[in-house]
Amino acid sequence: MQEVLQTYHLLIGYKGQPLIPEVNVSLGEGDIVALAGPNGSGKTTLFKTLSASLKPISGEVTLFGKKLQDYSPTERSSLFSLVLTEKPDDLFLKVFDIVSSGRYPHLGLLARLSEQDEQIIYESLETVGISHLVNRSFVSLSDGEQQKVMIAKALVQDTPLIFMDEPAAFLDYPSKIELVNIMHKLSREKHKTILFSSHDLDLLLRHADRMWVMAPQQPLRQGTPKELVEQGIIDEYFKPIVAKEEFYWMTSEHPDLKTCFSGDWSGIDANSLRSNEYYGRSIESW
Amino acid sequence: MASDIDHTIRRKTPPIALVSIAILAVGIVLFILNLRYGSVSIPWNEFWDALLHGDTSTYRAIILDYRLPQAITALLAGIGLSVSGLLMQTLFRNPLADPSLLGISSGASLGVAFVVLLGTATGLSVSTLSLWSTFGVTIAAFLGAFAVLLLILALSSRLRSMVSLVLVGIMIAYIAGSVTDILKFFSQKEGLHSFVIWGMGSFSNVSKAQLPFFAIAVLVGSIGSFLLFKTLNLLLLGERYAENLGVNIKRSSMLIILVSGFLTALITAFCGPIAFLGLAVPHIARFLFRSSDHKLLIPATAFLGMDLALFCNLIARLPSFEGNLPINSVTALIGAPIVLWVIFHRQRYTKTM
């Protein structure tokens, strides 16, 4: 099977100063990989390098076997899409405007939407469950709804690969579960490859198929959450931070969470977790 | 709080065709009023006679040789400055951005100051405004504006953030302003006088012979910016999203700055520095159409800019004022409250400006 994305001896960083040792990783079709690490470990830098916003210090990134920089910006726009933490703030941008802009790379000079384009837009809104918001102004939405709009935009762009930078930041727990459900749906039904970053250990350990773990000046390690925990890598990479930051943690005794830890998280109703007594317990009690 | 936002923002979008026709109709009425009113009062029946039947009366000469070029200049300046302001606001994602913020207008002023003020100081034979009002001032303003523009262009490729570019623009404006003040200090009375007059702004400086050139240049710039509407719409999402959707950020930014700067330099050269039109009009367009789609906003801004400039020109030339009020004071008087309103209105939706 052909790899969607692959890196060879990739050194990332600014001004010739590498942040971490060489990165050699790959993403296959339908993979959901979580990029984990405390703040400042270089997640965003790696993201920017993989999405061609930043040049690597050395080494290569390839997409479908071809070097990233050999694609034109237009070609890249049909290979991968982004969901970022920065949000549009224009008062009159409507949900439809933002989602349909994902279609722009496919449109001509006058940006007229064909019937097929509109159908793709409405399907994507349906997939992430925000069809009812289509005429709303973007700034009037909640953080979770805004996040979904940006995901719908990425879907409309119709790319095999989606990068999501901290998609779970600012979301409450039920919205995080919903987000994870959407990601798995995209991977399963539409065979999208998703790389998302987070510093939220809880979300990562429970919902990622595979993880890339980063820490300042440490080599990037990969594996399933279970492997990484058992090898003590999570402890090693996250420990110095956990003591300082207030991480919230759900206990593993909760029946719903046991199922999702075992990999079957699809039947979980986000709302049932909303008033859960386990929600919000801090890491120390874990 | 959330429901309050919903209530105002979700207001139904107005019928686009109806609003557009209204804007055009207002423009036509204002244009006729611009021809009709002035220091010489022309009765309505004589006005139509002079305009429609080609006699050789004085009225006809006043209307065709004086008022018509002025009204056309006003509407072109309104179009150019407003479109230019819209481009800057979108490029910098800053509702208060406009070309004067980037120091381009100040650069034009400095250029004019050099020629007018130093010209008199070195004893060149300059005694009246008339000599400078035509060619010298125009070229000087152009050179000044473009010098700043090139500086900004050079810096924009080195500055990563748009915010720092705006700050650089403000600093450049300060420097240009200070140099202008120093030049004023050393200059002679006549030069100072003509400089101050130019600085007040006027739509009557474009001669009939210059008008076709001015018109073509403004229209080329405005149509050029319409061709950028896709890029502008994508820039609204933020630089990284735009980049991901195929926009070459560096090249597009340069192009937008160039088009916007060209329009400002041109209009400032001919009409003097005119404040607030470029800042206020795009906001009126957004609120009238409740849209941020540049395919609609660029033409809307152009025609609203035309209306507002004609309105300001009309006020400046009302019969009781005996001649022309400085156009800059009129645009500021009308534009500044609009900008204030925008600031207060925005604050209801966003925590930061």
Best interface-test mutation with B: which of A83, A84, A90, A195 has the largest number of B CBs within 10 A? A90
B346 lies within 8 A of chain A by CB: yes
- C-alpha–C-alpha distance, residues B302 and B307, integer Å: 9
Check if the beta carbon of residue B82 is closer than 8 Å to that of residue B260.
no
Most confident of A5-14, A176-185, B8-17, B103-112: A5-14
Position A63, amino acid: L
Is A169 a residue whose pLDDT tops 90?
A: no
The conformation of residue B305, written as its DSSP 8-state character, comes to H
Kindly state the percentage of chain A with pLDDT values over 70. Answer: 83
Tell me, rounded to whole angstroms, the distance of Cα B47 from its chain centroid.
30
* Nearest by Cα to B163 from B107, B106, B97, B87: B97
Q: Measured between CA atoms, how close is A103 to chain B, in angstroms?
A: 9
The conformation of residue B114, written as its DSSP 8-state character, comes to I
Residue A241, burial from CB neighbour count under 10 angstroms (0-12, 13-18, 19+): middle
Subunit contact B244:A136, Cβ cutoff 8 A: no
Residue B129 confidence (pLDDT):
45
B240 lies within 8 A of chain A by CB: yes
Residue in A80, A104, A142 closest to B230 by CB: A104
B18 phi/psi in degrees, rounded to 5: -65, -45
Residue A7 confidence (pLDDT):
93
Q: Between B202 and A284, name the one with better pLDDT.
A: B202
Is A286 a residue whose pLDDT tops 50?
A: no
Best interface-test mutation with A: which of B3, B93, B237, B348 has the largest number of A CBs within 10 A? B237
* Nearest by Cα to B270 from B96, B77, B113, B86: B77
Q: With residue B347 as reference, give the H or E element that holds it.
A: helix B327-347
Closest residue on chain A to B226 (Cα): A110
Residue A96 confidence (pLDDT):
93
* Nearest by Cα to A220 from A45, A32, A37, A56: A37
Check if the beta carbon of residue A137 is closer than 8 Å to that of residue A124.
no
Residue in A84, A97, A153 closest to B292 by CB: A97
pLDDT digit string, tens, across residues A221-241: 998 888 888 888 888 887 655
pLDDT digit string, tens, across residues A69-86: 899 888 999 999 999 988
B349 contacts in chain A (CB < 8 Å): 91, 139-140
Is A268 a residue whose pLDDT tops 90?
A: no
Q: What is the mean pLDDT of residues A198-221?
A: 83
Angle between helices A115-128 and A173-190 (to 10 degrees): 130
Residue B161 confidence (pLDDT):
65
B2 contacts in chain A (CB < 8 Å): 140, 142
Closest residue on chain B to A75 (Cα): B246
- C-alpha–C-alpha distance, residues A125 and A151, integer Å: 9
Best interface-test mutation with B: which of A89, A93, A170 has the largest number of B CBs within 10 A? A89
CB pairs under 8 A between A and B: 90
- C-alpha–C-alpha distance, residues B82 and B71, integer Å: 16
A186 lies within 8 A of chain B by CB: no
In chain B, which among 75-134 make CB contacts under 8 A with chain A?
93
Q: How many CA atoms lie within 13 A of B323 on its CB side?
A: 2
A15 lies within 8 A of chain B by CB: no
Total H helices, total E strands in chain A? 10, 14
Over its C-alpha atoms, chain A yields an Rg (Å, rounded) of 19
**A34: β partners:** A196, A211
Subunit contact A80:B244, Cβ cutoff 8 A: yes
Angle between helices B249-271 and B211-226 (to 10 degrees): 160
Check if the beta carbon of residue B312 is closer than 8 Å to that of residue B335.
no
- C-alpha–C-alpha distance, residues B284 and B307, integer Å: 11
A19 phi/psi in degrees, rounded to 5: -80, -35
Subunit contact A90:B246, Cβ cutoff 8 A: no
Residue-by-residue pLDDT tens, chain B, 353 positions: 344 444 444 445 668 889 999 999 999 999 999 988 877 778 887 788 777 776 667 788 888 888 899 999 999 999 999 999 999 889 887 777 777 777 888 898 898 888 877 765 554 544 444 445 556 777 788 788 878 877 877 787 677 666 677 788 888 889 999 999 998 888 777 778 878 888 888 888 888 888 998 999 999 999 999 999 999 999 999 888 999 999 988 889 889 888 888 888 889 888 888 888 898 999 999 988 988 999 999 999 999 999 999 999 998 887 666 667 888 888 888 888 888 887 787 766 654 43
Q: What ipTM was reported for this prediction? A: 0.81
Is A53 a residue whose pLDDT tops 90?
A: no
| Count of CB atoms situated within 10 Å of the CB of B295 | 16
* Band (A64; pLDDT cuts 50, 70, 90): very high
A88 lies within 8 A of chain B by CB: yes
Best interface-test mutation with A: which of B1, B241, B353 has the largest number of A CBs within 10 A? B241
Residue in B236, B243, B246 closest to A93 by CB: B236
- C-alpha–C-alpha distance, residues B283 and B97, integer Å: 11
A142 contacts in chain B (CB < 8 Å): 2
- C-alpha–C-alpha distance, residues B19 and B237, integer Å: 27
Position B142, amino acid: F
Subunit contact B236:A76, Cβ cutoff 8 A: no
Subunit contact B291:A92, Cβ cutoff 8 A: yes
- C-alpha–C-alpha distance, residues B276 and B339, integer Å: 8
Subunit contact B245:A136, Cβ cutoff 8 A: no
Angle between helices B137-156 and B162-186 (to 10 degrees): 150
Best interface-test mutation with A: which of B244, B295, B296, B344 has the largest number of A CBs within 10 A? B244
A89 contacts in chain B (CB < 8 Å): 93, 350
Q: Measured between CA atoms, how close is A280 to chain B, in angstroms?
A: 25
- C-alpha–C-alpha distance, residues B321 and B327, integer Å: 12
Residue B349 confidence (pLDDT):
60
pLDDT digit string, tens, across residues A103-142: 998 888 788 888 999 999 999 999 888 999 998 989 889 8
Q: Can you tell me whether residue B299 is helix, strand or coil?
A: helix
B291 lies within 8 A of chain A by CB: yes
**A156: β partners:** none
A111 contacts in chain B (CB < 8 Å): 229-230, 233, 295
Helices within B92-210 (DSSP H only): 104-113, 119-121, 129-131, 137-156, 162-186, 189-200
Residue in A82, A109, A135 closest to B241 by CB: A82
A222 lies within 8 A of chain B by CB: no
Q: Can you tell me whether residue A114 is helix, strand or coil?
A: coil
The conformation of residue B132, written as its DSSP 8-state character, comes to I
Residue B28 confidence (pLDDT):
95
| Count of CB atoms situated within 10 Å of the CB of B317 | 25
Residue A238 confidence (pLDDT):
76
A97 lies within 8 A of chain B by CB: yes
- C-alpha–C-alpha distance, residues B80 and A171, integer Å: 44
